[in-house]
Structure 1
Amino acid sequence: MVLNDEKSNVSGKSLMTALQRQLRESLCPWKATESSGELLLSRYFKQAQHLEELLTRTLKLGESNSALVIAPRGTGKSVLVNILLGRLGESGILGNGMVVRLSGLVHTDDRLALKEITSQLRLESAAANKVFASFAENLSFLLDCLRCGNKESSKPVVFLLDEFDLFCHHRNQTLLYNLFDVAQSAQAPICVIGLTSRLDVIELLEKRVKSRFSHRQIYLFNEEKFDPHYLDTFKTLLHLPSSFPNKSFAKEWNTHITNLTKDANVCSLLKRQYDTTHDIRSLKTLLMMSVCQLQVEQPQLTYQMLAQAQQNLVAETKTNVLQGLSILQVCLVVAMKHLTTVYEGEPFNFEMVFREYMKFCHSKSSMQSYERPVIFKAYDQLKSLELVRPVDNSKGVQREYQLVQLMMTPYQVNEALLQLQGIPTDLQQWASSDIV
């Protein structure tokens, strides 16, 4: 598949431009194409059906509802809701209904949230000359403005609260209380959908807020396996649709992508990515970096492109920081790597790291061992470099017992050690071996 053999150089460049545009659109982290959207809907069919039914009852029948969509980051919560709203819009059910989107990362207090609600409902002029005694009065006025006589003729409103758990930290949870109160008392047809990755989010709600919430929770647990689910996602993200300008090229490209998933080297690379994180956004980032290497002379995606992209992806700043560490600090990083593996990512403290290091010194190392104060100072410097991060800010806990996490994966540590010069053989073997 060489473009220069089929067309002129100008045509080859235009075809490559169309290919890059199509693939970059498919690999956008926060969006889903038609094919990837269908894949997402098929995996969460029951949950999507439940959520669509709630939205339909609000938009069509004027019934008020509230629900939480709970799933790990990168699962596709926001994308799923947007796809359902798009389908309702195409079918005409959305009609005169309005969608208000709020984010806990942006709207950090109720004042900002209310201002955004006013803006998205386009009621700035109506509320400009009004003086409100409370938040509830202001919100009630906004919803009243959407009424045209009675409940049946009121405009339904869908509130999407992204990062819902952050709204729980607002003072008195006034926004949540009033939204759930309106939904429960059926003052106006609204549907409140919260999106969060915290399983304990219900426990963050105050008692008065919790009593007005429907306690309807929709879980999107990612149960996909590497084969076939992850590989299917890989093929779907790189698939060229039938609308692509050059039909023959699209057919060849799609066949080539299917063949890539049967290549042992490519599968090994993707398995490594899958073991590091199941987040589809990380896979999209890997593929985006690979796609950027495509040229007119090389229009095929190759294993070398994927390998180069993965190498650039894992070569983070923290990996480069290891280049300037002392041997003692590298020993502590290896000890933390082993603890991370043993306890499956659970936090640890200095005492555990110290014990792991001393076991290495006494059993398998001919290296010089250091005194405890020296080791603790080296450990403290790793915290200053942010290679180690405290999991909480508990006061009154001695620093030796403060729980921390290593901010690198075991794979990243191993890859970084391979690039370090002058590492003692004992240390290299300890890093690549099983736990002491």
Structure 2
Amino acid sequence: MSKRKSKETSSVNGECISQVQRILRERFCHQCPNGKLFGVQLQYKHLLELLKRTTIHGESNSALIIGPRGSGKTMLLNHVLKELMEVKQVRENLLQVHLNGLLQTNDKIALKEITRQLQMENVVGDKVFGSFAENLAFLLDALKKGDRDSSCPVLFILDEFDLFVHHKNQTLLYNLFDISQSAQTPVTVIGLTCRQDILELLEKRVKSRFSHRQIYLMNSFDFKQYLRIFKEQLYLPAEFLYKPFIQKWNKNVQSLSEDRTVQDVLRNHFHCSKDLRSLHMLLMLALSSITISHPFMTGSDLLEASKLCRMDSKANIVHGLSVLEICLIIAMKHLNDVYEGEPFNFQMVYNEFQKFIQRKAHSMYNFEKPVVMKAFEHLLQLELIKPIEGLPLRAQREYLLMKLLLDNNQIMDALQVYPNCPTDVKQWATSSLSWL
């Protein structure tokens, strides 16, 4: 009987843990429709009022949502749309067109996508348009026929808005903003971008038709609020199936937030980036360590996840280099120090390396020049160095100007953990002066 009871408890625990992981993963990946917004209440209210004027009162408008990547632009818009869709009148009438600058790379592709999403293919039928302008004129005419009382409101959402600015003559933007100023079909254009200088990129005729409404999201919360966000992102909802587990889990989350080690991890993360996506990545990695035998998150889980998040991919590449390639990177480091970041070529690096070999190295073999060139080219393939852009590539390989893509801290950190690195090479790297 006790064995059977233990088996049942084990299966409940397994189901419980997988439910926890599913709920939290959906939340961290922004797939949870009931996710919370943090620090953007004013922006939420502003955008909601703006879209209500279109969807309920039939007013046309335009606005830009501006903020760095990960600041919650898309989430803000989705939350506003979710609230609007709870109104029956909006749910039954609003037409939405979602465009993305990464997908609709020119106006012609964008126009086809608009036609598809508005389900106007049957209206277009077999008509053959002589040009993009004719096709656009037909679509605009269809949108302009009607009035604000009888027409369905249309919401255009342009993600990666700054990429639409680079379309030829900004024709699509001009016409969308032009319609949004008319008193015909109610149309609102919402652009999402991380470019704060976006208005300077608009042509004068486009800018004159834009309403100049801008909603900024800047992640302005402090560490105390960040700590609260950390807790709220980990708390399990009240409707979670396994009630006794909720109390234990949420109590553990509270004690985590008070733990000094966890606070240090979060503080370092906060100072690196206030981006909530980076916090979600940290929590996602820590969540992956949760199992039946380890059902609660610990400070060491978060510490390990933080190390993985902050792992320097370029420094990891350096760990796998040969001693010769390490020496070439150190030579480049010294050239950067002496010439204050000016570009260098292979010949300069080779000369620097030769001086080190002749004066300091007692344990290094003197490689032939073609071998050194091969190592140099390998660093180029690994993208640890790159050619200077805009310069002609006709020069001989030895004299092509290059730039090092590692800073001094990355080089020194990589050398600390480099296995069996010769002492002379380490000393050469730590010396403050080049052997020029």
Question: What's the TM-score, normalizing by structure 2?
Answer: 0.79
For residue 112 of structure 2, the aligned residue among 112, 115, 120 is: 115
Q: Show the counterpart of 1:81.
A: 77
Contact 1:135/1:174, CA 8 A, preserved across alignment = no
User: C-alpha separation between the residues in 1 aligned to 2:426 and 2:81?
Assistant: 54
User: C-alpha separation between the residues in 1 aligned to 2:273 and 2:433?
Assistant: 23
The 1:278–1:431 alpha-carbon spacing in structure 2 relative to 1, beyond 3 Å, is farther
* Alignment of 1:241 onto 2:242: no
Count residues in correspondence: 413
**Shift of residue 395, structure 1, vs aligned partner:** 4.6
1:17 maps to a residue whose letter is S
The 1:78–1:221 alpha-carbon spacing in structure 2 relative to 1, beyond 3 Å, is same
168-177 or 303-312, larger mean C-alpha shift: 303-312
**Shift of residue 393, structure 1, vs aligned partner:** 3.9
The 1:108–1:321 alpha-carbon spacing in structure 2 relative to 1, beyond 3 Å, is same
Question: In the TM superposition, what are the counterparts of 1:213-292 in structure 2 within 5 Å?
Answer: 213-225=210-222, 227-292=223-288
Q: Show the counterpart of 1:25.
A: 26
Question: In the TM superposition, what are the counterparts of 1:10-409 in structure 2 within 5 Å?
Answer: 10-28=11-29, 30-31=30-31, 34=34, 36-39=35-38, 43-92=39-88, 94-95=90-91, 96-135=93-132, 137-142=134-139, 145=142, 149-225=146-222, 227-315=223-311, 317-325=313-321, 349-350=342-343, 382-388=379-385, 393-395=389-391, 406=406
Residues 126-161 of structure 1: per-residue CA shift (max 9 Å, x gap): 212223355454345445546885331111111111
Residue 241 of structure 2 aligns to a residue whose secondary structure is coil
215-224 or 91-100, larger mean C-alpha shift: 91-100
- Identity of paired residues, percent? 43
The structure having more radius of gyration, on CA atoms, is 2
1:188 maps to a residue whose letter is T
Residue 94 of structure 1 aligns to a residue whose secondary structure is helix
Contact 2:65/2:215, CA 8 A, preserved across alignment = yes
Residue 290 of structure 2 aligns to a residue whose secondary structure is coil
Contact 1:348/1:405, CA 8 A, preserved across alignment = no
Residues 105-144 of structure 1: per-residue CA shift (max 9 Å, x gap): 1111112211111121122222122233554543454455
2:126 maps to a residue whose letter is N
**Shift of residue 85, structure 1, vs aligned partner:** 0.8
395-404 or 88-97, larger mean C-alpha shift: 395-404
User: C-alpha separation between the residues in 2 aligned to 1:250 and 1:310?
Assistant: 25
The 1:315–1:123 alpha-carbon spacing in structure 2 relative to 1, beyond 3 Å, is same
**Aligned alpha-carbon RMSD (Å):** 4.2
318-327 or 121-130, larger mean C-alpha shift: 318-327
**Shift of residue 327, structure 1, vs aligned partner:** 6.0
Contact 1:350/1:379, CA 8 A, preserved across alignment = no
Residue 297 of structure 2 aligns to a residue whose secondary structure is coil
1:235 maps to a residue whose letter is K
The 1:119–1:273 alpha-carbon spacing in structure 2 relative to 1, beyond 3 Å, is same
The 1:76–1:264 alpha-carbon spacing in structure 2 relative to 1, beyond 3 Å, is same
87-96 or 60-69, larger mean C-alpha shift: 87-96
* Alignment of 1:421 onto 2:419: yes
Residue 105 of structure 2 aligns to a residue whose secondary structure is coil
User: C-alpha separation between the residues in 1 aligned to 2:433 and 2:271?
Assistant: 20
Contact 1:322/1:330, CA 8 A, preserved across alignment = yes
Residues 6-47 of structure 1: per-residue CA shift (max 9 Å, x gap): 96111111111211111111111x44553x4243xxx12222
The 1:281–1:427 alpha-carbon spacing in structure 2 relative to 1, beyond 3 Å, is farther
User: C-alpha separation between the residues in 2 aligned to 1:66 and 1:101?
Assistant: 15
Contact 1:75/1:222, CA 8 A, preserved across alignment = yes
124-133 or 415-424, larger mean C-alpha shift: 415-424
1:37 maps to a residue whose letter is K
Contact 2:265/2:303, CA 8 A, preserved across alignment = yes
Contact 1:64/1:190, CA 8 A, preserved across alignment = yes
The 1:427–1:81 alpha-carbon spacing in structure 2 relative to 1, beyond 3 Å, is farther
**Shift of residue 337, structure 1, vs aligned partner:** 9.6
**Shift of residue 311, structure 1, vs aligned partner:** 3.1
Contact 2:63/2:191, CA 8 A, preserved across alignment = yes
Residue 56 of structure 1 aligns to a residue whose secondary structure is helix
Contact 2:64/2:193, CA 8 A, preserved across alignment = yes
User: C-alpha separation between the residues in 2 aligned to 1:128 and 1:270?
Assistant: 57
User: C-alpha separation between the residues in 1 aligned to 2:331 and 2:277?
Assistant: 30
**Shift of residue 314, structure 1, vs aligned partner:** 3.8
User: C-alpha separation between the residues in 2 aligned to 1:308 and 1:339?
Assistant: 36
User: C-alpha separation between the residues in 2 aligned to 1:33 and 1:427?
Assistant: 56
